[in-house]
């Protein structure tokens, strides 16, 4: 597992841009984020978004949001809307620069005609199998199609008929006439237009021919005046083709720059797999809090700022980029440690009776220990409390090693008194069911001199505690690289969701959707935005307080 790239190596794209600006090749920076609306955005897309929008902001340029909707069979408006929401939520603004590849279908069609007229494109009528067989291999050149020398007139006529719906899907295809023996397979007369009698989410049934991604992408960038077209490495071998189209069409030439896509451990990022997880109900939807989607992470409670920090921290390079999931989780912890208000909740309750205290008090407890300006909430205290079972041991190790409760031992109740365990009660099975403690009533908000009480534990007042449902989420996969498993589904973590009911301080009932709290000593929890009702929050565990997986491995 590599560590994040150093800041110096994260700068190779900046170096190119700086050179382009100082040499006068460019006088501005225009980038774009070009998703295909065939799924929800994931953390890999977030990296691309932060990079493209980030560079545009840094250079006072602009970044477009462009939907690459050239494949009508897989694209839907639901995806368009979710992508817009996710980009905005991540903190980026495309302003008026929202575009769709489908807006350029007319222009692309006319460019195809231009290439036909210049003898640079032809209609091929081989079957798909013949075309595949004649494509050649990496070591052998391809064979030219018998239709390659059709006249310009015949090509124009056939292409128009393709457009007019006179042919069935797959019967003809428009190809660029480049070089069937090129060592670069992408230059072996690649397809430009195919026949597809399919309804498009924006253009409806206007078209029954659609441009191939490779014939569309470079020209879309050109139309929009994109100066730096940043994409992932698998498009490196397509660059000569994009440049060929741009040159033949004599239009503005964007500069394509490739970087290594983000891979994250314990995560799958292929849209096909994410779609299968959703469709086959391994998760509760694209925004299931265990999904690596932007919407899933938002619902889980990851702050947008933490995702931006992560994308900055991992840098941008050209070599394969494996990042450990803990790097992302650490960014989330760092952000939430600053922003999340503190609350108390008990997961595994053990009763404590305070024998010398017979009242109810409302104690002032700070929302954030390092931020007095964040104010206080009122915390009810009474003579019957719940503490966590883990905070008591019948036969504890030395007080130098174990700071919690044991017979005769003292701890501080968070935001309340120091108590001492005088007695413990067992049931008929021999399990400890109650502690009887005395409180030192002189210790509220202060530590009298000479007292050495190291342990601080969380608690709730039994008569005031509220029960709240909590979903304890963990990693969706329990193998470092699920794609390596024979079937990635076998790497699913069966314990990625556990449901619990916890006893919490009453102020948590007022928590609103999306609000995140640190349950002291336990972890960060966010109110679910879908399943909560006013006064009835459901909490999702956002992240543990510390990296618990480091030990597991
Ligand atoms: P596909 O094209 O197979 O549907 P995709 O993940 O490439 O999937 P796109 O919608 O085409 O999805 O991606 C939009 C942009 O996000 C592209 O510019 C792509 O390079 C970038 N991107 C996608 N996945 C990652 C990743 N893991 N790391 C960085 N950038 C990514
Ligand atoms: Mg893609």
Q: Is the CB of 269 under 6 A from ligand 1?
A: yes
Q: Where are the domains of the chain?
A: 7-259, 271-341+468-552, 345-457
Q: Is the CB of 54 under 6 A from ligand 1?
A: no
Query: According to the model, what pLDDT value does residue 549 have?
Result: 74
Tokens 């908000």 sit on residue: 445
Tokens of 241: 């083709």
- 42: nearest Cα among 276, 282, 296: 296
Q: Euclidean distance between the first and final Cα of the chain, in Å?
A: 13
Ligand minimally distant from the alpha carbon of residue 47: 1
Q: Could you say which DSSP state residue 7 is in?
A: T
Query: According to the model, what pLDDT value does residue 507 have?
Result: 94
Q: Which atom of ligand 1 is nearest to the CA of 47?
A: 29
Q: Is the CB of 231 under 6 A from ligand 1?
A: yes
**Can you list the pairs that 524-533 forms with residues at least 24 positions away whose Cβ atoms lie under 8 Å?**
524/301, 524/332, 524/333, 524/336, 524/340, 525/301, 525/345, 525/470, 526/299, 526/300, 526/301, 528/289, 528/299, 528/471, 529/299, 530/287, 530/299
**264 Cα–ligand 2 center, Å:** 18
- Site to substitute for ligand 1 among 36, 92, 216, 323, most atoms within 8 A of C-beta: 36
Task: Determine how β-strand 418-426 pairs with β-strand 410-413.
Answer: antiparallel
**214 Cα–ligand 2 center, Å:** 11
Task: Determine how β-strand 466-473 pairs with β-strand 539-544.
Answer: parallel
Mean pLDDT by 10 residues, the chain (553 residues): 42 94 97 97 98 97 97 92 98 98 98 98 97 95 97 98 98 98 97 97 96 97 98 97 98 97 96 96 97 98 98 91 94 98 98 97 96 96 98 94 95 96 97 97 85 91 98 96 94 97 97 97 97 97 87 49
CATH topology of domain 271-341+468-552: Ribosomal Protein L25; Chain P (2.40.240)
Three-state secondary structure call for residue 325: helix
CATH topology of domain 7-259: Rossmann fold (3.40.50)
Tokens 């500069």 sit on residue: 255
The active-site residue, picked from 135, 143, 261, 318, is 261
**183 Cα–ligand 2 center, Å:** 23
Q: Could you say which DSSP state residue 432 is in?
A: E
- Alpha-carbon distance 314 to 260, whole Å? 11
- Alpha-carbon distance 529 to 527, whole Å? 6
- Alpha-carbon distance 412 to 216, whole Å? 66
- Which residue CA neighbors atom 26 of ligand 1 most closely? 44
- Alpha-carbon distance 136 to 459, whole Å? 71
**35 Cα–ligand 1 center, Å:** 7
Query: According to the model, what pLDDT value does residue 213 have?
Result: 96
Phi, psi of 25 (to 5 degrees): -60, -35
Q: Is the CB of 34 under 6 A from ligand 1?
A: yes
**217 Cα–ligand 2 center, Å:** 10
The active-site residue, picked from 271, 298, 343, 475, is 271
Query: According to the model, what pLDDT value does residue 478 have?
Result: 94
Query: Is 345-457 in the same CATH topology as 271-341+468-552?
Result: yes
- Alpha-carbon distance 204 to 77, whole Å? 12
- Alpha-carbon distance 348 to 147, whole Å? 75
Q: Is the CB of 261 under 6 A from ligand 1?
A: yes
Query: According to the model, what pLDDT value does residue 8 have?
Result: 40
Query: According to the model, what pLDDT value does residue 5 have?
Result: 44
- Alpha-carbon distance 40 to 278, whole Å? 11
Q: Which atom of ligand 1 is nearest to the CA of 74?
A: 4
Active site residue 36: yes
- Alpha-carbon distance 402 to 386, whole Å? 20
Tokens of 335: 């952000």
* Percentage, residues of the chain above pLDDT 90: 93
The whole model's pTM is what? Answer: 0.94
| Orientation of helix 304-314 relative to helix 43-58, angle to 10° | 80
CB-based contacts of 414, cutoff 8 Å, min separation 6:
344, 365, 456, 457, 458, 459, 520
Q: Is the CB of 36 under 6 A from ligand 1?
A: yes
Ligand minimally distant from the alpha carbon of residue 87: 1
**Can you list the pairs that 188-192 forms with residues at least 24 positions away whose Cβ atoms lie under 8 Å?**
188/135, 188/136, 188/142, 189/124, 189/142, 189/144, 189/145, 189/148, 190/214, 190/215, 190/241, 191/215, 192/112, 192/115, 192/121
Q: Is the CB of 303 under 6 A from ligand 1?
A: no
Active site residue 25: no
Active site residue 261: yes
Superfamily covering domain 345-457: Ribosomal Protein L25; Chain P (2.40.240.10)
- Alpha-carbon distance 339 to 304, whole Å? 12
Tokens of 500: 């619990």
Residue 300, beta-bridge partner list: none
Query: According to the model, what pLDDT value does residue 6 have?
Result: 43
CB atoms < 10 A from the CB of 487, how many?
Answer: 8
């Amino acid at each position: 597992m590599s560590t994040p790239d150093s800041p110096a190596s994260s700068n190779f794209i900046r170096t190119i841009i700086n050179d382009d600006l100082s040499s006068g090749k460019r006088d501005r920076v225009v980038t774009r984020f070009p998703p295909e609306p065939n799924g929800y955005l994931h953390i890999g897309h977030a990296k691309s978004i932060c990079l493209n929008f980030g560079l545009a902001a840094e250079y006072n340029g602009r970044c477009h949001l462009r939907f690459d909707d050239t494949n009508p069979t897989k694209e839907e408006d639901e995806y368009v809307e979710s992508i817009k929401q996710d980009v905005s939520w991540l903190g980026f603004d495309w302003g008026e620069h929202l575009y769709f590849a489908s807006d350029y279908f007319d222009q692309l069609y006319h460019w195809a005609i231009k290439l036909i007229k210049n003898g640079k494109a032809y209609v091929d009528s081989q079957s798909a199998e013949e075309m595949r067989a004649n494509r050649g291999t990496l070591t052998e050149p391809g064979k030219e199609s018998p239709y390659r020398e059709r006249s310009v007139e015949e090509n124009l006529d056939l292409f128009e008929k393709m457009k007019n719906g006179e042919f069935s899907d797959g019967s003809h295809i428009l190809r660029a006439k480049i070089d069937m023996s090129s060592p670069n397979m992408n230059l072996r007369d690649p397809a430009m237009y195919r026949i597809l009698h399919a309804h498009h989410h924006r253009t409806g049934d206007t078209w029954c021919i659609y441009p191939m991604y490779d014939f569309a992408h470079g020209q879309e960038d050109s139309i929009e005046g994109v100066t730096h077209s940043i994409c992932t490495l698998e498009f490196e071998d397509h660059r000569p083709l994009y440049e060929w189209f741009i040159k033949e069409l004599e239009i503005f030439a964007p500069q394509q720059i490739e970087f290594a896509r983000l891979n994250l451990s314990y995560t799958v990022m292929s849209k096909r797999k994410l779609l299968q997880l959703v469709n086959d109900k391994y998760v509760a939807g694209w925004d299931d809090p265990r999904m690596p989607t932007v919407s899933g992470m938002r619902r889980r409670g990851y702050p947008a700022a933490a995702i931006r920090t992560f994308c900055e921290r991992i840098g941008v390079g050209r070599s394969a980029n494996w990042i450990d999931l803990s790097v992302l989780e650490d960014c989330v912890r760092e952000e939430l440690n600053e922003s999340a208000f503190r609350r108390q909740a008990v997961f595994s309750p053990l009763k404590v009776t305070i024998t010398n205290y017979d009242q109810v008090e409302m104690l002032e407890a700070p929302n954030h220990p390092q931020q007095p300006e964040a104010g206080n909430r009122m915390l009810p205290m009474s003579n019957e409390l719940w503490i966590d079972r883990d905070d008591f041991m019948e036969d504890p190790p030395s007080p130098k090693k174990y700071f919690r409760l044991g017979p005769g031992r003292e701890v501080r109740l968070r935001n309340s008194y120091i108590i001492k365990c005088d007695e413990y009660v067992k049931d008929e099975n021999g399990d400890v069911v109650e502690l009887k403690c005395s409180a030192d009533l002189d210790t509220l908000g202060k530590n009298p001199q000479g007292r050495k009480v190291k342990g601080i534990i969380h608690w709730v007042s039994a008569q005031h505690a509220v029960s709240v449902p909590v979903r304890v989420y963990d990693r969706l996969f329990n193998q470092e690289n699920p794609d390596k498993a024979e079937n990635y589904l076998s790497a699913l973590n069966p314990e990625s969701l556990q449901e619990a009911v916890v006893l919490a301080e009453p102020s948590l009932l007022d928590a609103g959707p999306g609000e995140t709290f640190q349950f002291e000593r336990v972890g960060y929890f966010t109110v679910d935005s879908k399943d909560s009702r006013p006064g009835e929050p459901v909490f999702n565990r956002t992240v543990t307080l510390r990296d618990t997986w480091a030990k597991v491995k």
